[in-house]
Every structure is written in C-alpha cells, then in structure tokens.
C-alpha cells in the first residue's frame, strides 16, 4: 500500500546508480527524494557513468559522488565500510542484471558491490533492463536469492523499452520509487504501532439549509500533520471539517460538518496514543437551524440565538480514554505566552501550539510561525520556532512527538 511520500526528512539514503539507459531517471529521483527532505549520497558505478555524469549527480545531490573503490582520497575522507553503514537505506536504482548477479554472488570487485556486501542497512533494488535479460533464469534466480536474503524490490514495469522491445523491465516511474521508499520508512517509522487522531479544518454550523456559521480555516496544517504522522508509521484517523485540501493518501478520513459531529467522530476513534486538535471549531451554533431558508422580513435586523458547542479537546483531554499525548492549537490575534499557558491548563492538554493569526496570517497560507508550549507536569516551557512551511511545522512536531513517546 502506498502511504505517503512526505516522511523522508533527515533520512539518509545511499543511492547506487548502476548501468542502463534508465540511469537518467535517477537524476529526477535524487531531486524528488531531496524535495521530501532526504539526504542523498550517491555511488555511480562505471556502467552508470556511461549514461550520466558524476557532475550532474553531485550537483543534484549536493553531496560528494563516490565512484571508485580504490581512491585514496575517498578512503581517507570516508572509508567504504562507513559509506556502507552511514545511511538508513541503500537504494539501487537502476539495478542492472549485472549488479544483482554480483550481489547475489557476494562479489566485491568495485565500490558498489563492496558496499552491498559490507552494509548492515536495509537494501532496496529497482531493476531495469531488457525484457529478455529480465526473464532469463539467471536473473530470476539471482533475484530470488536476494529476496531470500531480505533485499526489497520495486518490481519493474511493463512497457516499451528504449531498445525498441516491449515487455517487463522498465524502471518504475520515479513517483512510484519515491512512494516505495516512503512506505519503507513509514512501516519502519518511529511511530509504528501508534494510533493518532487529528482534527482539522473548520466546522460549519447550520443557520438554515443554505447558510452556516463557519470560519476560513483551510485544513492545511492539520492535513500536513496527519500526513507526517502517517509518514512516521502511525495509524492515523483524520477528522476533517469541510475543506478543499485533498486528504493525504493512506489515512483513514472521517468527514464531518458540525462541531457535534466532530466530537462524536473523535470519541468514536478513541482509544489513541496521540490526539492533535488543529480544527478551528465554531465555538457557537444557532440554537435551532431553520428547516427552510430564512426570508428577509421588513427593514429591521434579526438576531440569531446561539448556544455553545462542546469543547472537543477538553472533552478528550479530561475523559476516560485520554490519549498519552494531547496537543491543542490556539489561533490567536493578540494573546501572549501567559494567556496561552492558561489556555493549555484550562484545556487539559500536554502541548499547545500557539499561532499568531492577526492580520489574516496563517489561515489558508502555506506557512506558519508557531510557539510550542509543553507542560512537563512541573512547569510549562515555551519554544518559538522560526517561520517555516506548514509541512515543516508538521514534520518537526511529529519528530518531537516521536521523541516524547
């Protein structure tokens, strides 16, 4: 199952690029992995270097490119054993029939094969070759051997080949490889086995069949947090009010409209280890929603009787199935840290993420400036984060959650 492709922050990927026309796709792969925050270091085999240059690999990875086992300078800077182990995943793309055969045999006659023999890290291979080479029993037996030893494979696609033939052997599209890498880290992520609930977006409270009380929350921050949690391996339920933001893939999404529905959906999703309340819940709803569209009558104004909505965060934080970590958000136009500390205590949450929404900042924007308050039980600390994208806020928050749990 494809989870998401957003969980690669600080992941160290050692990319081995072997020979084959598909080597050019590894340049795009480097970009896509880095866009998602991965640190990519590359080994270019002599076969790979027939198709792309160390210069382009180095420029895109912004890292030194390793090519030669017997380079004295390389060995002095980073020995091949350290190169093999100083990463979270060894990714071989494209994996030629030749490198798979050498890996299956345990040969160590160049840097790439030596690293494959010396590494104690997980290895993933994305084969690409001519269909006859792929179908050859020798290749298939080598792959079976490698699979038996725990090496992961992203299977080649069927299609027209650069050599003019048609069949199985095409390198899968780059997004598919990124998703496979992403899934690998999600399944092995720090929050695997943890359940998380995230509320996101606004709620709409009906006045009549065509009108409602609501707010301009876009759901961007909440959705990004849900995606980052899933990326770290958590089993995530996203309870979302009406938003345009597409739901992240691989996440259980419950769509609601009103605060009362959000409360019900949240309670139904318990128990959980983590609950993050990013939703901008309407504090009040009309005491009664009119069954028919309210007509204008006379020149006078009308008044709308409102009743208070349930406080979802407070209900969960003080309830029977309280998650181990409860995180609230506070969108304020003029509150200081002291007010935020009071809100944290009043709501009963462990952490409170304060964002300044004065002047239309934050709502609907791509980035955010937050201060994160944490209740240690003894005191409440406040940490102001630099201005960053909502994705980065999500990633950092999730990495701090993983540390805290």
> 88: which residues sit within 8 A by CB, 6+ positions away?
11, 12, 13, 121, 122, 185
**163 vs 324, beta carbon nearer ligand CTP:** 324
We find the least distance from the C-beta atom of residue 308 to ligand CTP, in angstroms, to be 8
Q: Is 225 in the site for ligand CTP (CB under 6 A)?
A: no
Q: Please report, as residue ranges, which positions from 192 to 211 form the binding site for ligand CTP (by CB under 6 A).
A: 199
**126 is an active site residue:** no
Measure Cα distances from 374 to 195, 199, 381 in Å. 21, 19, 5
**83 vs 370, beta carbon nearer ligand CTP:** 370
Choose which of 134, 185, 277, 351 interacts with ligand CTP (CB under 6 A).
Answer: 277
Task: Give the residue among 42, 44, 48, 55 at the shortest CA–CA distance from 15.
Answer: 42
**Looking at 172-180, 225-233, 304-312, 390-398, which segment touches ligand CTP (CB under 6 A)?**
304-312
Distance (Å, rounded) from C-alpha 143 to C-alpha 116?
A: 14
Please tell me what DSSP assigns to residue 192. T
Choose which of 86, 176, 283, 356 interacts with ligand CTP (CB under 6 A).
Answer: 283
**134 vs 329, beta carbon nearer ligand CTP:** 329
We find the least distance from the C-beta atom of residue 246 to ligand CTP, in angstroms, to be 21
Distance (Å, rounded) from C-alpha 159 to C-alpha 194?
A: 40
Q: Please, what sign has the CA dihedral across residues 360, 361, 362, 367?
A: positive
Outline where DSSP puts E strands in 71-227. 89-95, 123-127, 152-153, 157-160, 166-170, 195-200, 205-208, 211-213
Q: Is 67 in the site for ligand CTP (CB under 6 A)?
A: no
* Pair 198, 278: CB distance under 8 Å: yes
- Binding-site size, ligand CTP (CB under 6 A): 15
Q: Is 328 in the site for ligand CTP (CB under 6 A)?
A: yes
Residues comprising the chain, all counted: 405
**Looking at 104-112, 124-132, 169-177, 308-316, which segment touches ligand CTP (CB under 6 A)?**
308-316
Outline where DSSP puts E strands in 219-273. 235-240, 252-255
Reading the block at residue 28, the tokens are: 């795009």
- Residue 391's φ and ψ, nearest 5 degrees, are -65, -45
Q: Is 18 in the site for ligand CTP (CB under 6 A)?
A: no
Q: Is 330 in the site for ligand CTP (CB under 6 A)?
A: yes
Choose which of 90, 129, 143, 279 interacts with ligand CTP (CB under 6 A).
Answer: 279
Please tell me what DSSP assigns to residue 172. P
Choose which of 98, 114, 240, 309 interacts with ligand CTP (CB under 6 A).
Answer: 309
Q: Is 142 in the site for ligand CTP (CB under 6 A)?
A: no
Q: Please report, as residue ranges, which positions from 251 to 270 form the binding site for ligand CTP (by CB under 6 A).
A: 259
* Pair 381, 374: CB distance under 8 Å: yes
Q: Is 329 in the site for ligand CTP (CB under 6 A)?
A: yes
Q: Is 351 in the site for ligand CTP (CB under 6 A)?
A: no
Q: At what angle do helices 54-61 and 25-35 cross, to 10 degrees?
A: 10
We find the least distance from the C-beta atom of residue 346 to ligand CTP, in angstroms, to be 7
Query: Position of tokens 């880290």?
Result: 185
We find the least distance from the C-beta atom of residue 365 to ligand CTP, in angstroms, to be 18
Query: Position of tokens 């970590």?
Result: 325
Choose which of 97, 180, 313, 372 interacts with ligand CTP (CB under 6 A).
Answer: 313
**Looking at 21-29, 67-75, 276-284, 388-396, which segment touches ligand CTP (CB under 6 A)?**
276-284
**Looking at 13-21, 22-30, 71-79, 306-314, which segment touches ligand CTP (CB under 6 A)?**
306-314
Choose which of 17, 228, 312, 362 interacts with ligand CTP (CB under 6 A).
Answer: 312
Q: Is 311 in the site for ligand CTP (CB under 6 A)?
A: yes
The one catalytic residue among 87, 126, 163, 349? 163
**47 vs 328, beta carbon nearer ligand CTP:** 328
297 half-sphere exposure, CB direction, 13 A CA radius:
5
* Pair 300, 279: CB distance under 8 Å: no
Reading the block at residue 360, the tokens are: 């239309």
Please tell me what DSSP assigns to residue 24. G
**Which are the catalytic amino acids?**
163
Interface residues with ligand CTP (CB under 6 A)? Answer: 199, 259, 277, 279, 281, 283, 309, 311-313, 328-331, 347
């Amino acid at each position: 199952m494809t989870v998401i492709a957003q969980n690669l922050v600080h992941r160290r990927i050692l990319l081995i690029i072997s020979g084959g026309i598909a080597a050019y796709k590894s340049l795009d792969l480097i970009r896509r992995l880095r866009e998602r925050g991965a640190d990519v270091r590359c080994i270019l085999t002599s076969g790979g270097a027939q198709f792309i240059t160390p210069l382009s690999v180095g420029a895109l990875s912004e890292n030194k490119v390793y090519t030669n086992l017997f380079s004295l300078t390389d060995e002095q800077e980073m020995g091949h054993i350290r190169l093999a182990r100083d990463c979270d995943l060894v990714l071989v793309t494209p994996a030629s029939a030749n490198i798979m055969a050498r890996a299956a045999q345990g040969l160590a006659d160049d840097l790439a094969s030596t690293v494959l023999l010396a590494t104690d890290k997980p290895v993933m291979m994305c084969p690409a070759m001519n269909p006859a080479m792929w179908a050859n029993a020798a290749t298939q037996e080598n792959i079976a051997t490698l699979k038996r030893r725990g090496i992961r494979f992203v299977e080649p696609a069927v299609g027209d080949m650069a050599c003019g033939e048609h069949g199985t052997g095409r390198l899968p599209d780059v997004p598919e490889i990124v998703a496979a890498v992403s899934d690998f880290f999600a399944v092995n992520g720090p929050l695997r086995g943890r359940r998380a609930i995230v509320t996101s977006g606004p709620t709409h409270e009906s006045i009549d069949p065509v009108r409602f009380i609501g707010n301009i929350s876009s759901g961007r921050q909440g959705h990004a947090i849900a995606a980052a949690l899933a990326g770290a391996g958590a089993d995530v339920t996203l309870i979302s009010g009406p938003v345009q933001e597409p739901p992240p893939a691989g996440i259980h999404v419950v769509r609601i409209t009103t605060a009362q529905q959000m409360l019900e959906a949240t309670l139904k999703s318990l128990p959980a280890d983590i609950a993050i309340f990013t939703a901008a819940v309407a504090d009040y709803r009309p005491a009664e929603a009119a069954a028919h569209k309210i007509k204008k009558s006379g020149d006078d104004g009308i008044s709308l009787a409102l009743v208070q909505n349930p406080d979802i965060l407070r209900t969960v934080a003080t309830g029977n199935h309280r998650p181990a970590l409860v995180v609230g958000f506070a969108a304020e136009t003029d509150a200081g840290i002291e007010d935020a500390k009071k809100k944290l205590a009043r709501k009963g949450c462990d952490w409170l993420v304060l964002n300044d929404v004065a002047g239309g900042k934050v709502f609907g924007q791509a980035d955010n400036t937050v201060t994160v308050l944490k209740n240690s039980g003894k005191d409440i600390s406040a940490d102001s984060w630099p201005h960053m994208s909502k994705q980065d806020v999500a990633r950092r928050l999730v990495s701090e959650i993983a540390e805290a749990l």
